[in-house]
Amino acid sequence: MKIRAGYDIAFNCVQDVPMVLMLTVHPTRQHDLLTDHTIQISPHVAARNYADAFGNVCTRLVAPAGQIEMRSEFIIEDSGLPDAVVPHAAQAPLHDLPDEALVYLLGSRYCDTQKLTELAWALFGSVNGGWQRVQAICDYVHNRIQFGYQFARSDRIASEGNAEQIGVCRDFAHLAVTLCRCMNIPARYCTGYLGDIGVPLDPAPMDFSAWFEVYLGGRWHTFDARHNHPRIGRIVIARGRDAADVAISTTFGPARLVRFTVLTEELAQNDTVRIESSTRQLQHQFA
């Protein structure tokens, strides 16, 4: 399966504003890219990439006063398979966890484990460890929180999401990640593209999506508390402890978002030539 994805984002700045962007497909998926995948910035400014502590690709630049636009469109190969379901994946004893997984047991900015530990053990302590326990957590979060774009709030932490019972995909992910960590299951927050592939078309405007991964049975597995069923066509951009680690854009000064469009869709085979042509036109426009 081929997926076309990309974005068109613009900010208006009243002064020069340093920015860090996290818009590049994660290194673990870059071998699947079938076309160039670069950030087209207008007006042209100097920009450079670096890898953060979690292995994500970040882009540094200084946005000049006025409007700055970031665009990209690319095609990526995907297996076309839904998220794997591995019911036998077991929870590892703490002493057997790899060193790099331990950070995903700790509380973080949006995942306040200290406030939810008692609740987590009361709800899930009797559930068999491993896949069944994580699925029980997903079921709880899916039923607990009402989804709605009007409920978005950038500073909502997991315990508040649990109490308010409203939120967007990041709130589902934060609460599920927090409850998993309370149960000694390493859990990390993910952001990326998730189109309406294999499911009814969502009439709401496309957005980046949030889900999470847990370490079970010696590897990381994908879960999604918002949708709560396996999905097709995830394209991960970044992984971290929570949304603070994987913000699509971080600005160090006043910058007003004036345009935000995300695209991700299954590409018909006979559309390849047309899309490659439009990608070249886009690159020429911002050259």
On the question of a common fold for 2-80+247-285 and 94-232, the answer reads no
Task: Give residue 129's pLDDT.
Answer: 84
Mean pLDDT of 146-167: 97
- Is 236 in contact with 29 (CB distance < 8 Å)? yes
Task: Give residue 278's pLDDT.
Answer: 42
Q: What percent of the chain has pLDDT over 90?
A: 91
Dist. CA 84–CA 213, nearest whole Å? 12
Mean pLDDT of 203-226: 96
Task: Give residue 268's pLDDT.
Answer: 83
Task: Give residue 285's pLDDT.
Answer: 37
Q: Report cis status (omega within 30 of 0) of the bond before 43.
A: yes
| pTM of the full structure | 0.92
Identity at 285, one-letter amino acid code:
Q
pLDDT higher than threshold 50 for residue 75: yes
Is domain 2-80+247-285 annotated with CATH 3.50.50.60?
no
pLDDT higher than threshold 90 for residue 8: yes
Every domain of the chain and the residues it spans: 2-80+247-285, 94-232
- Is 138 in contact with 180 (CB distance < 8 Å)? no
Over the chain, what HEC string results? CEEEEEEEEEEEECCCEEEEECCCCCHHHHHHECCCCCCEEECCCCEEEEECCCCCEEEEEEECCEEEEEEEEEEEECCCCECCCCCCCCCCCHHHCCHHHHHHHCCCCCCCHHHHHHHHHHHHCCCCCCHHHHHHHHHHHHHHCEECHHHCCCCCCHHHHHHHCEECHHHHHHHHHHHHHHCCCCEEEEEEECCCCCCCCCCCCCCCEEEEEEEECCEEEEECCCCCCCCECCEEEEEECCHHHCCCEEECCCEEEEEEEEEEEEECHHHHHHHHHHHHHHHHHCC
- Is 277 in contact with 37 (CB distance < 8 Å)? no
Average pLDDT in the chain = 93
Confidence of residue 272 (pLDDT cuts 50, 70, 90): low
Q: What count of residues does the chain have? A: 287
Task: Give residue 194's pLDDT.
Answer: 97
CATH topology of domain 94-232: C8orf32 fold (3.10.620)
The region of weakest confidence among 66-70, 147-151, 244-248, 281-285 is 281-285
Task: Give residue 5's pLDDT.
Answer: 97
Q: What percent of the chain has pLDDT over 70?
A: 94
